[in-house]
Structure 1
Amino acid sequence: MHQHPQHSAPARASRPSPHRADRPRARRFTGALAAIAATVGLGTLAVPGAQAADNPYERGPAPTNASIEASRGPYAVSETTVSRLAVSEFGGGTIYYPTSTSDGTFGAVVVSPGYTGTQSSIAWLGPRLASQGFVVFTIDTLSTLDQPDSRGRQLLAALDHLTERSSVRGRIDGSRLGVMGHSMGGGGSLEAAKSRPALQAAIPLTPWNLDKSWPEISTPTLIVGADGDSVASVASHAEPFYESLPASLDRAYLELNNANHFAPNSSNTTIAKYSVSWLKRFIDNDTRYEQFLCPLPRPSLTIEEYRGNCPHGS
């Protein structure tokens, strides 16, 4: 086990919500309606959307430990494919999305496979994350041998396709986007976050990159390593990546116990649980999921160690 003291970094400055300035007005409006209701003897008047005004991005029922560990969340999922022949900046892929449109738009995440890998190696993340209330795009890269910088560019190109040209673009809130990736795709997710600070979340999974230092990143980042990784050992990849992130950033390091480099290539409850919580917390600004991230998770049968800052500031 890599012994490092858990620490509390200063909370990152909150990014302004486009709805935050409207909250006092919403409260005054709600109060005025309640007063009118009392005056005319209507009792308690339900104000549609009054509660949602506190966080218009919140999606789905209140989470429980069981719900974030479940193989499927509350949303039924549909999928559509993007042919490699229809795009030129990445290798096509599969889009998984909540079937229902009754809750409005959703945040979106693009996931890249690793070196020599195809989208099939990270396909399990598509329906699992989408069923929790995200549009998820698992992609193929232009070449299975593409390096992290290229995979980073392809992740961003896939996000642009998803939000601007895909058949599900109307279901997506283009201001609520994130990236994930395995191995060199994980290194690519760091490259993407560095290139596009507007991203709301990044989750590199057992990441590999020759660049070990990422002080430029301002996107909330959860790095997942594996104690038995002999391809991208945590000592030379995941740990220095995490330590190089700004101390003021909302960041976390999850090291899987008794796991290897390829743990993200098959269904993994621990990866899913904390990925869902991280994406919900930072893409949807859903503080209902803070309970699973703070206080910091303790070592267990599946967690070798967990480091990060608490509470989160975004």
Structure 2
Amino acid sequence: MTALIALATTLGLALALLTAAAPPAAAADLLSQGRPATSSSTENTSTPASAAVDGNTGTRWGSTFSDPQWLSVDLGATATISQVVLRWEAAYARAFQIQTSTNGTAWTTIHSTMTGTGGVQTLDVNGNGRYVRMLGTQRGTTYGYSLFEFQVYGSGGGTPPGNGIPDPTATSLETANGPLTTASYTVPNPSGYGSGTVTYPTSSGSYPSVVLMPGYQGTQQNLQWLAPRLASWGFVVVNVGTNTLTDDPESRGRQISAAGTQLIALGNAAGNPLSGKVNGTLGAVGHSMGGGGVMAALRDDSRFRAGVPTAPYHPNANFSSVTEPTFFLTCQSDSVAHGNTYAVPWYNSMSQAEKLYIEVPGDHLCPMTGSGNKAKQGKWIVSFLSLWLRADTRFGPFLCGPVRDPDKNNTSLVTRWMDTCAF
């Protein structure tokens, strides 16, 4: 008996050691975040499909108040799907299906229920496809369907946003072009704004988008320097011409929103160079009245996740409700829109936003093409938008901490610097 007990103990110990030494199963990757998303409908402009795959539980997709409705995400390539997480707002689905597709047309159901509970639902599934959608067939409330997040986990899928972008350095960020090759495309039939030229990475993958808006009497030339610089660091950039040269800041804000809407639509459509390249995350950069327009877009359109108003102008405006990250770039000798008159009061009033304020030598034109220190301005703008539109923390040190201090403390380069670091 003693020998049997000893043998059992030895075997049990050996089994425990083998179990402990066994490598853990590979964790599933989050494949859906930042990918292009579409839906059967939206409740309004503040509840787009892209809000359900942006990684932010403070934004949501909402549908119209009818059955059926669907939300679909394009993973970029065929993937093996192992789990889907639905983070419902109060308007949930009582009956719904999770479906996959290789082409976005023919669908295979991998999960179905008639007793959805709302809240956070974690579904273990088994399927394959490039496209994954939630098809709601019976609402749980009198409202529509509404998801804070639609998260698809598995392996495979397309190139993640930011993949292929090498680690940034001060030298690489201060050159005129980043690591990615770019091309240009003229927007056909601009809707809600005057004209648009898109500069985009030619490499595979989908990217955040940035709208560039000129100032009073300005054209696309105003911020032309910035378009290839941003695109070569992994952004799809539309450089906009306004409806008229005298459009006020509020009108420019609406045109920024319209340009973002059309850019997302082009990314979701087939037959153009932007197809599949636009992931639905939006930012904006503007000069003067265009900078005021950026602030209006951040205030009014929740799809815009970060903004860079440069030498911004917008009289009698209140932007205390803006909560998205904002980088104010102003000019020390600006007699048109000095930071003390506009940007600084806005900065101080935005108590819930991450903020950066840099004042540099020069007059009102210092952020425009052909003026100012473009090596430094480009480094700061690329870093800010990479951090906040792509969640690429590799760029944070150029804005916060010792790496940025040589810029911040150089009085010939920077005449005032404020921030909410660390971020």
TM-score > 0.5 by shorter chain? yes
Alignment check: 8 A CA contact 1:126 1:136 kept: yes
1:179 partnered with 2:284: yes
Q: Alpha-carbon deviations, 1:273-310, whole Å to 9, x = none? A: 11000000000000111111112642312211211111
Question: What amino acid is the match of 2:418?
Answer: R
Q: For residues 121 and 153 of structure 1, what CA distance do their matches in structure 2 show? A: 19
Q: 2:367 is matched by which residue type in structure 1?
A: P
- 1:252 to 2:356 alignment: yes
Which letter does structure 1 place at the counterpart of 2:376? T
2:381 is paired with a residue whose SS is helix
Asked whether the 8 Å contact 1:198–1:219 carries over to 2, the reply is no
Contact 1:57 1:286 in 2 (8 A): no
Q: Which runs of 5+ in 2 are unaligned?
A: 1-54, 60-82, 86-153
Answer yes or no: is 1:158 the counterpart of 2:158: no
1:203 aligns with 2:308: yes
Aligned to 1:278: 384
Instruction: Give the structure 2 partner of residue 229 of structure 1.
Output: 334
Which 5+ residue runs of structure 1 have no aligned equivalent? 1-13, 22-47
Identical columns (%): 34
Please state if 1:90 is matched with 2:226.
no
Aligned to 1:45: none
SS at match of 1:63: coil
Tell me how far apart the structure 2 counterparts of residues 82 and 133 of structure 1 sit (CA, whole Å). Answer: 19
Give the counterpart letter for 2:161 in structure 1. Answer: Y
TM-score with structure 1 setting the length: 0.78
- Residues 191 and 258 of structure 2 are in contact (CA less than 8 Å); yes or no, is this contact kept in structure 1? no
TM-score, normalised via structure 2 length = 0.59
Question: Are residues 1:100 and 2:203 paired?
Answer: yes
Q: CA deviation at 1:272?
A: 0.8
Residue 293 of structure 1 is matched in structure 2 by: 399
> Among 131, 156, 160, which residue is 2:232 paired with?
131
**2:182 match:** 77
Instruction: Tell me if structure 2 keeps the 8 A contact 1:177–1:200.
Output: yes
SS in 1 for 2:212: strand
User: What is the rounded CA distance, in whole Å, between the counterparts of 1:58 and 1:220 in structure 2?
Assistant: 19
Q: Is the 8 A contact 2:380 2:399 kept in 1?
A: yes
Larger CA Rg, structure 1 vs 2: 2
Across the aligned residues of Structure 1 and Structure 2, the Cα RMSD in angstroms comes to 2.6
Question: 2:386 and 2:353 mapped to 1: Cα distance?
Answer: 17
Q: Which residue of 2 aligns with 1:307?
A: 418
CA distance in 1, matches of 2:320, 2:395: 26
CA distance, structure 1, for counterparts of residue 393 and residue 355 of structure 2: 16
- The structure with the greater share of residues assigned to strand is 2
